[in-house]
Structure 1
Amino acid sequence: MVGIVGIVIILVMVFGGYVAAGGKMGIIIKALPFEMMMIGGAAVGAFVISNDMAAVKHTMKDVGKVFKGPKWKPQDYQDLLCLLYELIRIARGNPMDLEGHIEGPQESAVFQKYPNILADKSAVEIICDTMRAGSMNYDDPHQVEEVLEKRLEHKLHHAMHSSHALQSMADGLPALGIVAAVLGVIKTMASIDQPPEVLGKMIGGALVGTFLGVFLAYGLVGPFAAKVKTVIESDHTFYTLIRDVLVANLHNHAPDICVEVGRQNAPGEVRPGFADLNEALRGAKSAA
C-alpha cells in the first residue's frame, strides 16, 4: 500500500507541477508510447541479456516486495523464538529425542505449531542443519558457527541479486533516454524544411526521451531497487536471529538466555516484548 502511495505522489508532483507551470501534456502523451517503446524495451532487453532466466524470474517475483513489504511479521519472530526454545529444551533434556524433530520437521509436533515457519524451507533447513551439526561438534562450537555464518552470507548475496539487477537497469535508463532523444533529433533534422512550430513540437517530443529516461531511473526503478534491498535485508534478520540463538546454545547458555539473546538482537519494529515472550514461553512449557 505504501508503495502505491509513493508512486501516486511521484506522478502527481511531477506532472502536476509541470501542468501548474503552464506545460501542455499533449506533446508528452503523443511522444510517450514511442519513447517508452525505445527506452523501456531497450532496458528490458538489456536486463534479459545480463541475467539468466532464473535471475529474471527471481527479480520479477521480488518486485512484489515493494508493495507487500517484509515477509516476516512480529508474530513470526515470537513464534521463531518459541520454536527454538522448545527445540533447545528437548536437546538439553535428551538429545536422542531431538533427532525425530530435525530429521522429519514436517511430521514434528513442535514444528507443526508454527506453520508459517514450517512453510519456509530455508528457515527449517538452517534450524535442522545447525542443530544436527551442533550435536556432532559440541567440542568445537566455533566451527559450527563459522559454517552457519558463511551459509547466511551466501543466502543474502543470492537474495540481493534482484536488487542489484534493478539498480543496474536504473543506472542505464538515463543513457537510454539520451539514445531516444538523439533519434528524435535525427528525425527532426530530416524535417528541417518544416515551419518553426512543427520543428518545435518535434524537438519537444525528442526531449521527452531524455526526461523519460531520467524519470524512470530516479523516480521509479531506482526506488524500487532500494525498497527491494531494504525488504530483503529486513527478512534476512529472521535468519540471523536463528543464528544468534543457536550459537548461544552451542556455548551452553541456558535456554532462556539463548532466547533472550535472539529477542534483543531482533529489530525494534518486530522485537517481541519481554512480558509477551515470557508468557508465550510459559505456554510452550505447559504444552510440553
Structure 2
Amino acid sequence: MLIIGGLVFLLICVFGSFMFSGGAIGALFASMPFELMSILGAAIGTFIMANSINDLKHTVGALKKTLKGSSYKKAEYVEMLSLLYFFVRLASTRGVMALEPHIENPTSSSAFAKFPKIRANHHASNMICDYLRMVGMNVDDPHQIDDVMARELKKTLLEELHPSHALQTMSDALPALGIVAAVLGVIKTMSHINQPPSVLGEMIGGALVGTFLGVLLAYGIVAPMATRLRDVVMEESKYFELIRAVIVAHLHGHPPQVSIESGRKLVPTQHMPSFQELETVIQSLEIA
C-alpha cells in the first residue's frame, strides 16, 4: 500500500503548495475535468491502439500487483523449497519412477496436497511436473534441461513485463498529450480574443492546466506505477528461477540438501529463510 501513501503525499504537496502560495484552486479544479477528459481519453485510446486484447486484459490484471506487491513471501518460498526437497530426495533414494504418481496427476498427489497454494498455482505446478517428467524420460543432461528452462523462463518474463513497458510508453506520451489539450485551450482562447483581460487570463490559465496534468500524470503517477510493476514482476520471477536451480542442481548429482540450498540462495533477501529455518522445516517434512 506504499504506492497509495506516496500518491496521497504527492497530491497534498503539489496542490497544497499551489494553494498556500496564493493559487486559485477553484479555477484549477474548474478546468480539470475537461482537460482530464481530453488527456486521459487520448491516452486510453492510444493504449488500446497499441495493444492486443490479451495485452489489455493482462495489463488490467497486472495493475493489482502495483498495490499488492509480490504474491510470494517467505512462507511461499519455504513451501516451494520443501516440496522440491521431497521430490529430489524421493528421486535420489527411490529413482525417478517414484515421482510418476505425483507428476502425472498433481490433484491426487499426497505431496502437492500438503501444499495447496502450489497446486493451485498452475504455472508453478506445471513447470515442476513438466521438467521432472522430462527427467523420467531419460532427458537427464543438466545442461540441456537448464537451457530449456532458461528459455521458457525468459519467454515468461518478457510476457509478464509487457504491461510495465506498455505503461511506461503511456507515461512517455502523456506530456505530449497534455500539450495537445493545452493547444486546444489556446485555440479556444484565441476565438474569444475580444474578451476583457480577466476573461482571457482565466481561459489561458485553463489551457495551461492541460500541460500541468500531462506532466503530473506522466511523471507523478503512471511512470512510478510502471516502475513498481516491473520490480514486482522481477521479484516474482525468482520464485520460478528457484525451481530451475533446484532441478538442475539435482541433475548434476548433488545431494538433496545441496540442491535445495542452491535454490534458497535465489530467494529475495527480504524473504530468504535462514539455513537453520529451512533445515528444520524439511527435516520435519512427512509426506506419504
TM-score norm. by structure 1 comes to 0.97
Of 48-57 and 203-212, more deviation after overlay is shown by 48-57
User: 2: CA distance between counterparts of 1:199 and 1:18?
Assistant: 21
Listed as ranges, the matches of 1:47-126 within 5 Å are 47-92=47-92, 93-126=94-127
Q: Deviations over 1:90-132 (max 9, x none)?
A: 1122322201111111111101111111111110111111111
Quote the residue 2:267 is aligned against.
266
Contact 1:90 1:97 in 2 (8 A): yes
| 1:52 to partner: Cα distance | 1.0
Which runs of 5 or more residues in structure 1 are unaligned? none
Of 131-140 and 160-169, more deviation after overlay is shown by 131-140
User: 2: CA distance between counterparts of 1:43 and 1:169?
Assistant: 7
* 2:207 pairs with 1:198: no
User: 2: CA distance between counterparts of 1:187 and 1:267?
Assistant: 54
The share of aligned pairs that are identical, in percent, is 47
Quote the residue 2:276 is aligned against.
275
User: 1: CA distance between counterparts of 2:7 and 2:33?
Assistant: 20
| 1:134 to partner: Cα distance | 2.1
TM-score norm. by structure 2 comes to 0.97
Q: Which amino acid aligns with 1:271?
A: M
User: 1: CA distance between counterparts of 2:137 and 2:274?
Assistant: 34
User: 1: CA distance between counterparts of 2:219 and 2:60?
Assistant: 19
Describe the SS at the equivalent of 1:64: helix
| 1:137 to partner: Cα distance | 3.9
Q: Which amino acid aligns with 1:208?
A: V
Quote the residue 1:235 is aligned against.
236
Q: Which amino acid aligns with 1:3?
A: I
| 1:139 to partner: Cα distance | 4.8
| 1:22 to partner: Cα distance | 1.2
User: 1: CA distance between counterparts of 2:18 and 2:171?
Assistant: 23
User: 2: CA distance between counterparts of 1:148 and 1:287?
Assistant: 27
User: 1: CA distance between counterparts of 2:108 and 2:198?
Assistant: 75
Contact 2:97 2:136 in 1 (8 A): no
User: 1: CA distance between counterparts of 2:174 and 2:256?
Assistant: 52
Describe the SS at the equivalent of 2:271: coil
Which runs of 5 or more residues in structure 2 are unaligned? none
In structure 2, the CA distance between the partners of 1:139 and 1:110, relative to structure 1 (3 Å rule), is: closer
Q: Which amino acid aligns with 2:149?
A: L
| 1:287 to partner: Cα distance | 4.4
**Number of residue pairs the alignment of both structures matches:** 287
In structure 2, the CA distance between the partners of 1:89 and 1:158, relative to structure 1 (3 Å rule), is: same
Q: Which amino acid aligns with 1:13?
A: C
Quote the residue 2:257 is aligned against.
256
| 1:265 to partner: Cα distance | 2.0
Q: Deviations over 1:138-169 (max 9, x none)?
A: 55221111000000000000001110111111
* 2:35 pairs with 1:17: no
Of 86-95 and 211-220, more deviation after overlay is shown by 86-95
Contact 2:140 2:251 in 1 (8 A): no
In structure 2, the CA distance between the partners of 1:163 and 1:174, relative to structure 1 (3 Å rule), is: same
User: 2: CA distance between counterparts of 1:174 and 1:228?
Assistant: 21
Of 226-235 and 87-96, more deviation after overlay is shown by 87-96
Of 48-57 and 201-210, more deviation after overlay is shown by 48-57
Quote the residue 1:156 is aligned against.
157
User: 1: CA distance between counterparts of 2:261 and 2:28?
Assistant: 58
User: 2: CA distance between counterparts of 1:139 and 1:76?
Assistant: 28
Contact 1:137 1:144 in 2 (8 A): no
Contact 1:138 1:250 in 2 (8 A): no
Contact 2:185 2:206 in 1 (8 A): yes
Describe the SS at the equivalent of 1:71: coil
User: 2: CA distance between counterparts of 1:150 and 1:31?
Assistant: 51
Q: Which amino acid aligns with 1:255?
A: P
Q: Which amino acid aligns with 1:198?
A: V
Moved over 3 A (4+): none
Q: Deviations over 1:221-241 (max 9, x none)?
A: 111101110111111110001
User: 2: CA distance between counterparts of 1:138 and 1:196?
Assistant: 81
Q: Which amino acid aligns with 2:19?
A: V
| 1:135 to partner: Cα distance | 2.7
